[in-house]
Amino acid sequence: GQNIDQPTEMTATEGAIVQINCTYQTSGFNGLFWYQQHAGEAPTFLSYNVLDGLEEKGRFSSFLSRSKGYSYLLLKELQMKDSASYLCAVRDPGSGYSTLTFGKGTMLLVSP
Amino acid sequence: GAVVSQHPSRVICKSGTSVKIECRSLDFQATTMFWYRQFPKQSLMLMATSNEGSKATYEQGVEKDKFLINHASLTLSTLTVTSAHPEDSSFYICSARTRATNEKLFFGSGTQLSVL
């Protein structure tokens, strides 16, 4: 089966750093994705990890440990516009179509 | 980046009517398109996967006769909600995967369906 866990909500202040964790148990693994979703909008791609380690892209970084089934998204220098839901998704090649299974998302609220 | 166009963005319909949602890849050929449904404050739930020219593969619990998917070309997929009921009210999102970059999914802007 598939199980992806992430915190439901987090709060942080403008200019701070926040880390959003994601743990997964899936029958197969072929990459982990982070998406940002503002209310009423479609998700937008943030990062992709398939090998262990840290991927840095501007203010956002994503880390993966395959042996631990663990990833985190690190957001630095938080801005008000970063208030959104952050979705962790795992690609499982076992389905034959390499579909993504999404976590329930972490709602991040950035306050002044 | 690759652009996926989805419309309509919002539709309100009466119970019992059918609604068609279109998803187009504008500047790339989508080998595979996915349809997701999202209820308020919940995650995206995959409904079905379709490859161009073949029948869609539906996830468990999704009625294929109710949610008709057609993927007639490499740039167009449609989802038709037949005989819609209020419980079908949801946010529907399509996504597409390119031939060139297998890693990324590109999402449409979503369709908010409200069935009265």
Contact A23, A104 (CB under 8 A): no
CA nearest to A65, candidates A22, A15, A28, A111: A22
Q: For residue range B4-18, what is the model confidence (pLDDT) as tens digits?
A: 899 999 999 999 999
What is the band of A85 on the pLDDT scale with cuts at 50, 70, 90? very high
Mean of per-residue pLDDT scores for chain B: 87
* DSSP per-residue codes, A34-88: EEEE-TTS--EEEEEE-SSEEEEETTEEEEEETTTTEEEEEE-S--GGG-EEEEE
Chain B residues within 8 A of A101 when measuring between CB atoms: 46
Q: For residue range B29-68, what is the model confidence (pLDDT) as tens digits?
A: 888 889 999 887 777 888 998 887 788 989 889 999 999 9
Q: Are strands A84-92 and A106-111 parallel, antiparallel or unpaired?
A: antiparallel
Residue B101 has pLDDT above 80, yes or no: no
**pLDDT at position A68:** 95
By the CB < 8 Å criterion, does A43 face chain B? yes
Location of structure tokens 């964790």: A21
Buried b (16+ CB within 10 A) or exposed e, B79-115: bebeebeeebbbbbbbbbbbeeeeebbbbbbbbebeb
Answer with the residue of higher pLDDT: A50 or A41: A50
Residue B74 has pLDDT above 90, yes or no: no
**pLDDT at position A28:** 82
Of B6, B43, B109, the CB nearest to A105: B43
Q: Which residues of B touch A (CB under 8 A)?
A: 6, 32, 34, 42-46, 49, 51, 57, 91, 93, 102-110, 112
Cβ-based neighbour number of residue A105 at 10 Å: 26
**pLDDT at position B105:** 75
Contact A90, B31 (CB under 8 A): no
